Amino acid sequence: MSRARKFLVFLLIGGILAMQLGFTIALMKGDGIRVHWPDSKLASARAFEVTGDAWMAPGRGSIAAIEVLASPATAGLSPAEREAGSVRARGALTWVEDRGKPLYPLQFWTAPIELPSAGEWELVATARDASGREIRSKVRRFSADEVPPRAFVPWSGQHLAALAVSAALIAAFGFAAAKGGERFMRRAAPWYTLVLFAQEFAFQTYWFSRDAWSPSTALMLHMCGLAILLLPPVMMMGPSKTRDRLSELLYFWGTGGAVQALIFPDIMAFGFPTFRFFTFFASHALIIAGSLALATSGRARITLAAVGRLFLRTTLLLVPIWAIDHAMAFLPPYAPANYFLMGYPPTMGSVIDVFADALGPSPRYVLGIELMGVVVFGALWAPWAVARKLREKGGKGAAPRPRSGTAAP
């Protein structure tokens, strides 16, 4: 890797990490409550769940109640008319449970509410401790509609269109890497790096600006986040065993994690053409494209031995990730994180709930995640094994180990 490319990579990685450190420091205040939904720039339905997060610093009490007040914001209303048209709702913190038994609360809260009419509204959330001490959120102004025009619906036309565009981008990048090999990777790496990090900078800034960023959810410690940090330097590396091993790792991590995200998007109501919609599909498509290119360009050979190495390294990584998840309870919002799903099952429900019901809470249900990982990684290895078998039957013999500048099936 040339000095200029090293400088570019470390500048961008350092910039992302410095930004996240700055965001974390900005949240280092005693107590807080924030509203995540409704969004100030998107219309909501009249009946919906207000969502957010809330925390009180250790030693200063704990949240006993959450209340949401929505008031009409139509111009010309008197204070009495605003009060008469206001709607109140009680909220509740989300709890981690073990077979129906509450274990500990998270920072997330929800409050179902139904507005009497569409139009412009203002919303404020209040959290109280047992002594009556209150903390209040910023006022969130939003609009309500009978049928929100930009709501995301899984497997709708906008979802299928986003999947089709993502698949075309991934296929084109992977095919170009297979045809161009090492030469293509060297030329594409700087541009790929700039695009990947540009969207990540934009997303992180956007998420912080709408009071949704948190060190317990947004650090680059998810599988896809680590792939974003590692893909650019690995793409720019010269031939080496380290590059080969990292290429194997990123193929499975990037493809395995991002494909699931594209199929089951967790973007709530942020449908086309919102900023969240574009950044979500762009980032995950870029991760898959880069990860696949590492394999199709010949930098990594996807073998059963590679699956074994990946499984061992990922398992070893789970130990520090588990420790980091629990260490996050010492930073606002003072609740365990859930990187690599090591803290608790996703609050929206998933197959992890099955493992937790059968094996118990973290870290016991991690055995189920390990088994699921074997299935996913095996599925990603299988096409390459089949391709090699077909090539052998075609009379070309056993597939050789890819060399720099050649493509592997």
pTM here is 0.90
Asked if 113 contacts 71 with a C-beta cutoff of 8 angstroms, the reply is no
Residue 408 lies in a domain: no
Residue 401 lies in a domain: no
Residue 352 lies in a domain: yes
215 and 359 co-located in one domain: yes
Q: Mark the ranges of the chain whose per-residue pLDDT is less than 70.
A: 395-409
pLDDT tens digits, 348-401: 777 888 999 999 988 899 999 999 999 999 999 999 999 888 888 876 544 444
Gap between the Cα atoms of 103 and 101, Å rounded: 6
Last residue of a domain, one of 145, 177, 202: 145
Check which CATH number belongs to the domain holding 135 and give it.
Answer: 2.60.40.10
170 and 101 co-located in one domain: no
Residue 403 lies in a domain: no
141 and 158 co-located in one domain: no
Last residue of a domain, one of 145, 178, 200: 145
245 and 375 co-located in one domain: yes
168 and 265 co-located in one domain: yes
Gap between the Cα atoms of 5 and 59, Å rounded: 48
Residue 406 lies in a domain: no
216 and 332 co-located in one domain: yes
141 and 201 co-located in one domain: no
36 and 128 co-located in one domain: yes
- The two tokens of residue 43 are 């219309």
Q: Which domain holds residue 62?
A: 32-145
pLDDT value for 406: 44
Last residue of a domain, one of 102, 124, 145: 145
Amino acid at position 89, single letter: A
194 and 51 co-located in one domain: no
208 and 234 co-located in one domain: yes
pLDDT value for 395: 64
pLDDT value for 396: 53
Residue 409 lies in a domain: no
Residue 47 lies in a domain: yes
Structural domains counted in the chain: 2
3-state secondary structure string across the chain: CCHHHHHHHHHHHHHHHHHHHHHHHHCCCCCEEEEEECCCCCCEECEEEEEEEEECCCCCCCEEEEEEEEEECCCCCCHHHHHHCCEEEEEEEEEEEECCEEEEEEEEEEEEEECCCCEEEEEEEEEEECCCCEEECCCEEEEEECCCCCCCCCCCHHHHHHHHHHHHHHHHHHHHHHHHHHHHHHHHHHHHHHHHHHHHHHHHHHHHHCCCCCCCCCCCCCHHHHHHHHHHHHHHCCCCHHHHHHHHHHHHHHHHHHHHHHHCCCCCCCCCCCHHHHHHHHHHHHHHHHHHHHHHCCCCCCCHHHHHHHHHHHHHHHHHHHHHHHHHHHCCCCCCCCHHHCCCCCCCCCCHHHHHHHHCCCCCCHHHHHHHHHHHHHHHHHHHHHHHHHHHHHHHCCCCCCCCCCCCC
Residue 407 lies in a domain: no
pLDDT value for 291: 96
55 and 174 co-located in one domain: no
341 and 288 co-located in one domain: yes
Pairing of strands 63-72, 32-37: unpaired
pLDDT value for 235: 93
